[in-house]
Amino acid sequence: MSAHYMNHSHSPLDRMDHRILQVLQEDAGLSNLELAERVGLSATPCARRVKRLISERVITHQVAMVDPKKLGLNLTAHISVTMDRHTPDRFTLFEQMISELPEVVDCCVVTGQSADYLLKAVVRDMAHYEQFLLGKLTRIEGVSGVHSSFELRRVVTRTAVSAPAADR
Where exactly does CATH 1.10.10.10 map onto the chain?
12-64
User: pLDDT tens-digit profile of 87-115?
Assistant: 999 999 999 999 999 999 999 999 988 99
Contacts of residue 14, defined as CB under 8 A and 6 or more positions apart, other chains included, come to none
> Rounded distance, CA 83 to CA 46, Å?
47
Q: Nearest-CA neighbor of 132 among 115, 150, 152, 114?
A: 150
Answer whether 79's CB lies under 8 Å from 44's CB. Answer: no
Q: How much is the pLDDT for 113?
A: 87
Indicate the pLDDT class of residue 10, thresholds 50, 70 and 90.
low
For 91-142, where are the E strands, in sequence order?
104-109, 117-123
pLDDT at 17 over 90: yes
Q: What are residue 78's DSSP bridge partners?
A: 120, 149
Q: What is the 3-state secondary structure (H, E, C) of 133-149?
A: HHHCHHHCCCEEEEEEE
pLDDT at 124 over 80: yes
Cβ atoms within 10 Å of 46's Cβ, excluding its own:
21
Give pTM, 2 decimals: 0.81
pLDDT at 8 over 70: no
Where exactly does CATH 3.30.70.920 map onto the chain?
68-150
Q: Which H helix or E strand runs over 126?
A: helix 126-135
**Within its chain, how far is the Cα of 94 from the centroid?**
18
Q: Nearest-CA neighbor of 105 among 32, 159, 48?
A: 159
Indicate the pLDDT class of residue 3, thresholds 50, 70 and 90.
very low
Fold that domain 12-64 belongs to in CATH: Arc Repressor Mutant, subunit A (1.10.10)
> Rounded distance, CA 11 to CA 53, Å?
9
CATH number of 68-150: 3.30.70.920
